[in-house]
Amino acid sequence: MIAVNRLPVPPVLVEVVESGRWAPPADSRLMYAVFGEEPDYPAFYSLKAMAEQTEGLFSLDADILTWYLGGDDGVDQPGAITVNRTVLIGDLGIERPFALDYSRSISDPDVVFFAQNGRWRQVAPNIATFLMLLDIS
């Protein structure tokens, strides 16, 4: 089992990353359809980068970290994330990460995105659905 932030990375994600298929789709319209925002040099992280980016985010200055943790606005769900229940897996552009959110399930985490409004929004109920939506097989 591979873990980041002491959380198990879903085997299907490990397999896609290790096979070299974990990359932004060539058709940016798929990205827009999933995230609801235009990508700007998106990055899909290697397993090593997932660990580095997650550790880097959560070691930020308290004020900056508070901003990245988001907040509940009653519209976007989950709205906020928890440090010990999150693994960053990529970004849509600068300061626009997407992550696995283990708040609901350790074995089948949601995929969430830090939207331009400063709130985290679920974009897929799990990584398998996320891969299907982006046509990553």
- Reported as a pLDDT band with limits 50, 70 and 90, residue 134 is very high
Interval 47-59 mean pLDDT: 94
Give residue 7's Cα distance to chain centre.
14
**Per-residue pLDDT reduced to its tens digit, 65-116:** 888 888 877 777 888 899 899 999 999 999 999 999 999 999 999 999 999 8
Structural tokens at position 19? 């096979």
% pLDDT > 90, the chain: 74
134 CB neighbour count, 10 Å cutoff: 21
Q: 107: which 2 tokens?
A: 């074995």
Distance of CA 129 to the CA centre of its chain: 13
Instruction: For the chain, give the percent of residues with pLDDT over 70.
Output: 100
Q: Bigger pLDDT: 19 or 75?
A: 19
Residue 17 banded pLDDT, cuts 50, 70, 90? very high
Residues in the chain: 137
Looking at residue 113, its pLDDT comes to 97
What's the chain's average pLDDT?
A: 93
Residue ranges covered by each domain of the chain: 3-133
Q: In what order do the strands lie in the sheet with 78-79?
A: 43-44, 86-91, 97-101, 110-114, 120-124, 78-79
d(CA 131, CA 126): 9
